[in-house]
Amino acid sequence: MKKADYAYIGKNFRRKGSVERVTGANIFAVDMSIPGMLRGGILRSQYAHARIRDIDVSEAVSLPGVYAVVTAKDAPDVRYGRTVTDRYILARNKVFFIGDPVAAVAANSLATVKKALRNIKVEYEPLFVVLDPEEAMKPEAPTLHEDVPPPPNLPEGIKAKNVCSYISLHVEHPDQAMAEADLVVEEIYKTQMVHPHYLEPRTVIAEYDNGGNLTLRTNSQTPFVVRSEVSRLLQLPVSNVRVLVAEVGGGFGGKAAGVASGAGFEPICGLLAMKAKRPVMMVLDKSEETIATSVRGPAKVWIQTGVQKNGTILARKAKLIFDTGGYSGAGELAGGWAARMLVGCYRIPNVHIDGYVVYTNKQVCGPVRGPGGVQAIFPVESHMDSIASRLDMDPVDFRLKNMLRRGDRIPNGVTLRDVSLKETLLTAAEKVGWGKIRLRKNQGIGFASTTWGGELGHGPGAGALVKVNEDGSATVLIGKVDYGSAVNMAIPMIVAEELGIDIDHVKITNVDTDTAPWDFGTVGSLTTVACGGAARLAAIDARNQLLRIAAKQLNVRVRDLAAKGGQIRVKGFADKVMPISIAATAAHFQVGEVIGRGTYDPETISRKEKEKGASPSYATHAALVQVDPDTGRVDVSKYVAVHDVGFAINPCAVEGQIEGGVVQGLGQALCEQILTDDTGRTLNPTFVDYLMPTANITPDIEPVILEGYLGTGPYGAKGIGEIPCVLPPAVIANAIFNATGVRIRTLPLTPENVLRAIREQKRKES
Amino acid sequence: MKKADYAYIGKNFRRKGSVERVTGANIFAVDMSIPGMLRGGILRSQYAHARIRDIDVSEAVSLPGVYAVVTAKDAPDVRYGRTVTDRYILARNKVFFIGDPVAAVAANSLATVKKALRNIKVEYEPLFVVLDPEEAMKPEAPTLHEDVPPPPNLPEGIKAKNVCSYISLHVEHPDQAMAEADLVVEEIYKTQMVHPHYLEPRTVIAEYDNGGNLTLRTNSQTPFVVRSEVSRLLQLPVSNVRVLVAEVGGGFGGKAAGVASGAGFEPICGLLAMKAKRPVMMVLDKSEETIATSVRGPAKVWIQTGVQKNGTILARKAKLIFDTGGYSGAGELAGGWAARMLVGCYRIPNVHIDGYVVYTNKQVCGPVRGPGGVQAIFPVESHMDSIASRLDMDPVDFRLKNMLRRGDRIPNGVTLRDVSLKETLLTAAEKVGWGKIRLRKNQGIGFASTTWGGELGHGPGAGALVKVNEDGSATVLIGKVDYGSAVNMAIPMIVAEELGIDIDHVKITNVDTDTAPWDFGTVGSLTTVACGGAARLAAIDARNQLLRIAAKQLNVRVRDLAAKGGQIRVKGFADKVMPISIAATAAHFQVGEVIGRGTYDPETISRKEKEKGASPSYATHAALVQVDPDTGRVDVSKYVAVHDVGFAINPCAVEGQIEGGVVQGLGQALCEQILTDDTGRTLNPTFVDYLMPTANITPDIEPVILEGYLGTGPYGAKGIGEIPCVLPPAVIANAIFNATGVRIRTLPLTPENVLRAIREQKRKES
């Protein structure tokens, strides 16, 4: 079917609730209230590393208005963690960073909660604090998690301490190839710790009923993971835990709670509700979010590449030291992905990469949008320009020469079916005016390209149910939360298209783990791909059920029928129609209801990819910047983001994802960073000191959508959620290099850092 | 499978939440609160029949704290009604009974609501009030609903006015048979108006969001019907209306809102919320419930039977005048059923029955538990004893002689497969001591038998979804509300049985129309039959999915596997097991989740019944009473209720249904009645004057469960919800007759009425 033939798909529809979102009319979790609801709060460690000798809650318990005080002793002796289970919901013996939860209180007012928290006496034995992962790996460093064994795959010879997980990638003969190279370029890059800083605070309301059911109203991105973790940590059957999610004001992985970034938030609130026998609401304030919840972990990358004179890359060696903070969190995931992404989107025949995910006494690494992406792509794509410069090659030409193409195999063994990298790069070069516009002094253009998803697999399965109502409208159940990505619009577009009904007659309901099909959560750029695909199949299933009912009634064959405009029509007979409402109502007197089911099945997709090849997402960004050599200020004048999205189901939502991702990436490039002092205390926990990208640094962004290289999503759509925020740091750094000849290898590119680098360069040159 | 082999089925399990229900710990709708919630109230007509000249809301609108005032003008010009659409949610031109809603107010407090209601000025033109349906049928009576045409099936010759619907049943040659009879007995019976008087008041909270979605939290028994009606009456797509039901404190058909008994309750609250742009809560108080919501309609029955000397019934003629009140409500349904039930559970070869459902200016008839049942069975079963007495036959023998048996055809054309009537009657006679105990003076025994369901069809379809969680627990979605009947326990029993998991690991979730499979509601004794059947099939479907996953992993055939005790076992190999949790978790990486679906399909059941015969519910009740001839007081010393339930899934819940139904039936037999003055005003709207059956009149009830004659429900279960409350009035009247020789043909059998009848009899005898 041609794009123009679709009624909804491929056209622009504004996300439902957008106006309410920006006018503040939405009801978020924090606006909710339940009769008899208490407020809860957490006592957090003021030490970055300490042993807990004793906790005395007696005074807090006896305060009027206090309903429950809980410590580790009140919780089951169960630890959590993605693969390395190293954490209790409330610290049991030791604390590992400033902000680590130690106790919690439920009381009749927030003031009483705070008073009670102040009255809990914790006796700590302070321990040596390690903030730098390289220091943490040294033999003389203290062992943070004494009871966590070293990674089983860590080679015998490596004596590094505090390694949480280890990743090694070895392809062919990197040492030999490196030795044969005409030029070997070696650099060290550093990315900083940033917070995902969604605007809506993390909130949960826990309610425990007489039947032993715990209901959690929360703004999580991963309600089913919350359910599963709460069930395990509080020792309740999964069927007794219900997680409800309504509006969510951004998440960016920071609200992908349960697995890694939970910091035990929902389980602690659940524990309080169970003990208090009253509903408890817990809201984190901004500084608490910053110090205590999950962050994008900082990383240090040593990268070395051997090339031939003609620009052909022969070998890559790299070492990644990834700081996961006080607990494993999502460090193993993000660090692992970062390590694998250090090959970039290039054909590199010989590779050796070592990745170390290391514990320190800092905030815990979470699955922040594009986990591992910035930590790998900032080094890789900066490094590409460095090599091109050393080879005296045009960076676009150097990339084109080495880029992955059709038929290439990526390290996970999958062959690529279509590769649009070249097209994204050429389009970006054309749009930004590379080689065409005359650059003024201190003006420069930078590029960065990447792929996303092909290397990372297809995530777990997902499902959708489409219920067709008696008036021909439909209600759709999926397990993914729309926290801003407009999946709540993509799904109705798909369902309306396939059922042949009005888009305003499709309702997508809020996620309730009791009723929605299981889903891993809104993560991994998979929302439209997985749930959109499942919803499409569910709608087709429902349509077929309706057609069968109509075929019986109209006495025709099912294949002679089509659903369009709310009607089931006999093809070729304009007057032979049956309203969908009639067919849907007829079902009431048979099976009750037309319910279509569709699933997203990663196992099947992987098998097909093995047979026919994979087609992941690709993108190239380009920016034109102006550097002020006297202040170090970098102005981004133009920003082009070219994305191969396979098929844009809702183009304006795709553009929104690109623009939002670019702004977030520019934040990491230009201004955002969490700063700590040498005791591990965060120096800038609020927006007063933590600089977020705002309108005054946001350039004119031109999102360019490439279609045609079809992906695994519905109608050939590919994921777009994460990739846009991964590229900007490298793009800007390359543009600064192009403008000034100064290579900056440490993020963020603040005026101070840029100015320092320019002065350093001048000093060297003079 | 033998009953003893089941793990859960057929054993006793206490309804979930029973303790909380009686200790007041449950959260009912009235306990809920939503931020910013207003209170709502309804202005009701003080005239039983009047034309509305004008409504002036200006003063009410201008009161501080008033957010919305609505009248018919604010609502779409759409009428409702089950088949006869004769009613607006707010009276548009005329009012038809005292309590008819005329306007409604939403304000910031209940006091303001009441003040605003007092300040609405309605100009009425009072019209002639008709309270007696026979008067209403006369030519000189005013026409109540000028715009409702007479029933299309009303014969030309019949000039009756105000007939809402007409039912006629004619079998063979009744006139001729009557003429040939040895004895013709003719009587007139009357049943009174009662209210279902559930203890929890009707409550709704309506919330209208910016996206055009209307959410209703209500304690309806029929959430999907509410959704459908609200959608139609407020002109919203069904997908934009969401109805949520949590705990419901009884309903007995009174909360089967939407169709008939709604009195526009939910739509009015929805309309207020839409206009006020704030959530609105509306709660009816007891007197408002009594005067304004639906009742069991009163009826008058002329019944004539021709019998042979040997006791064989030859013919039945009957005329029913059924009072539906101010609107059609469920009058057409209940009146129709009553008319058809006037043949009783007997073989009567020649029948003529005419039923008239008639408008009057009284409360509207609703689908109260066993609709039409008491109105028919009180006459029919009293009449049986009258005939037996005239024949000088034992009433048990007379019944046995004429009872339906295997192979008989009932008027809807279905042949009966198994008939347990005789067994129920003999068991009841045995248990109550008929012919064995020596009756003291003024002591008597009465009987009544009936069938239920066979004549009434199988209702609409229903569905169930069983979601299997990663720990092997399951969550079940059905569309029926448990308002006390313990379906919330029957379903987990069935699902645990079929899935082979622990019963405490099955959660049944509250009904949410956005997520539950469509369902007509908790009505018609169909809950366990329909949803239990669907849930059983859904659990089997889920089990098969789990077995397929396990078969692949264990490398065996599916048929070699069984699920039991949370494990999937290879039959014959004790050590070859896979926990259900492992199989359920494996699904996460394939289709997402094991979701089983099952449906209850009345079309298929009807087809099978046509082939193999039907097996409806049967029951006989018997009571031993003591009549005080000086006060008219009737003491029920013993009450035996024998029910063929096919298969008792949860015997203690079946007993609970029987006991509760008997008490409700005794209420109608002995004390309950709504009294009105000649203007149509209810004289006893509160529990101070309206006598409900309490412990001091409740006898020792012996529920007796007969099994073996399998019905259409899961495991052969038959419906039990309605039938127990239908028999007591006839049982008690027959026992009084047995004790005193006095036949009382008008309900209730209050001491005054009994005393009057005894004195009347004495007067006649003297």
Give the pLDDT confidence score for residue A583 in this predicted structure. 97
What percentage of chain A reaches a pLDDT higher than 90?
87
| Record: contact A517-B595, CB cut-off 8 A | yes
Q: Which of residues 195-234 of A touch B (CB under 8 A)?
A: 209-211, 213, 228, 231
Q: Are A373 and A726 in contact (CB under 8 A)?
A: yes
Does A411 have pLDDT greater than 90?
Answer: no
- pLDDT bin (cut points 50, 70, 90) of residue B454 is confident
Q: Kindly report the nearest CA distance between residue B401 and chain A, in angstroms.
A: 38
B503 reaches A (C-beta below 8 A): no
pLDDT in tens, A156-187: 888 899 999 999 999 999 999 999 999 999 99
pTM above 0.90, yes or no: yes
A474 reaches B (C-beta below 8 A): yes
pLDDT in tens, A87-113: 999 999 999 999 999 999 999 999 999
Q: Residue A597: closest CA among chain B residues belongs to which residue?
A: B595
Q: Which of residues 356-415 of B touch A (CB under 8 A)?
A: none
Give the pLDDT confidence score for residue A23 in this predicted structure. 87
Task: Give B509's contacts in chain A (Cβ within 8 Å).
Answer: 242, 514-515
Task: Give A603's contacts in chain B (Cβ within 8 Å).
Answer: 589-590
Tell me the average pLDDT across B228-253. Answer: 94
Q: Kindly report the nearest CA distance between residue B598 and chain A, in angstroms.
A: 9
Mean model confidence pLDDT for chain B: 95
Task: Give A475's contacts in chain B (Cβ within 8 Å).
Answer: 239, 514-515
Tell me the average pLDDT across B416-431. Answer: 96
Q: Kindly report the nearest CA distance between residue B526 and chain A, in angstroms.
A: 13
Annotate A483-495 with three-state secondary structure: CCCCHHHHHHHHH
Q: Where are the beta strands (DSSP E) in A647-747?
A: 701-707
Does A454 have pLDDT greater than 80?
Answer: no
- pLDDT bin (cut points 50, 70, 90) of residue B161 is very high
- pLDDT bin (cut points 50, 70, 90) of residue B220 is very high
pLDDT in tens, A195-217: 999 999 999 999 999 889 999 99
pLDDT in tens, B556-600: 999 999 999 999 999 988 888 999 999 999 999 999 999 999 999
Domains of chain B and CATH, by start:
3-24+462-600 (3.30.365.10), 420-449+612-766 (3.30.365.10)
Q: Kindly report the nearest CA distance between residue B727 and chain A, in angstroms.
A: 30
- pLDDT bin (cut points 50, 70, 90) of residue A258 is low
Strand partners, A218: A204
- pLDDT bin (cut points 50, 70, 90) of residue B264 is confident
Residue B405: other Cβ atoms inside 10 A: 12
- pLDDT bin (cut points 50, 70, 90) of residue B525 is confident
A686 reaches B (C-beta below 8 A): no
A752 reaches B (C-beta below 8 A): no
Give the pLDDT confidence score for residue A17 in this predicted structure. 83
Give the pLDDT confidence score for residue B574 in this predicted structure. 83
Does A764 have pLDDT greater than 60?
Answer: yes
> Considering CB atoms only, which of B239, B504, B604 is closest to A474?
B239
Task: Give A601's contacts in chain B (Cβ within 8 Å).
Answer: 590-592
- Joined together, the tokens standing for residue A344 give 């970039």
Give the pLDDT confidence score for residue B459 in this predicted structure. 86
The 3-state DSSP class for residue B463 equals strand
pLDDT in tens, A380-402: 999 999 999 999 999 999 999 99
- The C-alpha atoms of residue B718 and residue A196 are separated, in whole angstroms, by 58
Checking ipTM against 0.90, whether it exceeds it is yes
Annotate B426-455 with three-state secondary structure: HHHHHHHCCCCCCCCCCEEEEEEEEEECCC
Write down the residue that tokens 């069975």 correspond to: B377
- Joined together, the tokens standing for residue A538 give 């569910």
Tell me the average pLDDT across A370-375. Answer: 96
pLDDT in tens, B106-131: 999 999 999 999 999 999 999 999 99
Q: Residue B605: closest CA among chain A residues belongs to which residue?
A: A590
Which residues 6+ apart lie within 8 Å of A654 measured at CB? A643, A645, A648, A703, A705, A720
Task: Give A488's contacts in chain B (Cβ within 8 Å).
Answer: none
> Considering CB atoms only, which of A515, A595, A599 is closest to B592?
A599
Q: Kindly report the nearest CA distance between residue A564 and chain B, in angstroms.
A: 18
Tell me the average pLDDT across A464-473. Answer: 98
Does A1 have pLDDT greater than 90?
Answer: no
Helices (H), B363-439: 373-391, 395-402, 421-432
- The C-alpha atoms of residue B477 and residue B535 are separated, in whole angstroms, by 8
- pLDDT bin (cut points 50, 70, 90) of residue A515 is very high
pLDDT in tens, B465-495: 999 999 999 999 999 999 888 889 999 999 9
Mean model confidence pLDDT for chain A: 95
Task: Give A471's contacts in chain B (Cβ within 8 Å).
Answer: 231, 237-238
Tell me the average pLDDT across B222-235. Answer: 95
Tell me the average pLDDT across A298-305. Answer: 98
- The C-alpha atoms of residue B283 and residue B39 are separated, in whole angstroms, by 8
Does B257 have pLDDT greater than 70?
Answer: no
Tell me the average pLDDT across B665-692. Answer: 96
Give the pLDDT confidence score for residue A171 in this predicted structure. 94
Give the pLDDT confidence score for residue A263 in this predicted structure. 58
| Record: contact A463-B593, CB cut-off 8 A | yes
Q: Which of residues 112-171 of B touch A (CB under 8 A)?
A: none
Q: Kindly report the nearest CA distance between residue A463 and chain B, in angstroms.
A: 6
A473 reaches B (C-beta below 8 A): yes
Task: Give A587's contacts in chain B (Cβ within 8 Å).
Answer: 461, 518
- pLDDT bin (cut points 50, 70, 90) of residue A18 is confident
pLDDT in tens, A583-632: 999 999 999 999 999 999 999 999 999 899 999 999 999 999 999 999 99
Tell me the average pLDDT across B178-189. Answer: 98
Q: Kindly report the nearest CA distance between residue A480 and chain B, in angstroms.
A: 12
| Record: contact B592-A471, CB cut-off 8 A | no
| Record: contact A602-B590, CB cut-off 8 A | yes
Give the pLDDT confidence score for residue A665 in this predicted structure. 98
> Considering CB atoms only, which of B238, B461, B604 is closest to A473?
B238
Give the pLDDT confidence score for residue A257 in this predicted structure. 67
Q: Residue A241: closest CA among chain B residues belongs to which residue?
A: B507
Q: Which of residues 604-623 of A touch B (CB under 8 A)?
A: 604
pLDDT in tens, A426-443: 999 999 999 999 999 999
Does A262 have pLDDT greater than 60?
Answer: no
Give the pLDDT confidence score for residue A261 in this predicted structure. 52
Give the pLDDT confidence score for residue A19 in this predicted structure. 86
Q: Which of B603, B68, B684 is nearest to A590 (CA)?
A: B603
- Residues of B marked active site are found at 722
Site from B203, B238, B529 to mutate, A interface, most A CB atoms within 10 angstroms = B238
Q: How many CB pairs under 8 A join A and B?
A: 188
Give the pLDDT confidence score for residue B262 in this predicted structure. 56
Give the pLDDT confidence score for residue B263 in this predicted structure. 58
Does A259 have pLDDT greater than 60?
Answer: no
What percentage of chain B reaches a pLDDT higher than 70?
99
Does A218 have pLDDT greater than 80?
Answer: yes
Q: Residue B534: closest CA among chain A residues belongs to which residue?
A: A591
Give the pLDDT confidence score for residue B765 in this predicted structure. 86
A463 reaches B (C-beta below 8 A): yes
Mean pLDDT check: name the lowest of B273-277, B544-548, B684-688, B762-766: B762-766
| Record: contact A210-B20, CB cut-off 8 A | yes
| Cis-peptide, bond into residue A729, ω within 30° of zero | no
Helices (H), B219-364: 223-234, 265-276, 286-292, 331-341
| Record: contact A589-B603, CB cut-off 8 A | yes
Burial A598-614 (b: 16+ CB within 10 A, else e): bbbbbeebbeebeeebb
Residue B465 identity (one-letter amino acid):
L
DSSP A365: B
DSSP labels, A235-262: T--GGGEEEE--B----TTTT-TTTTS-
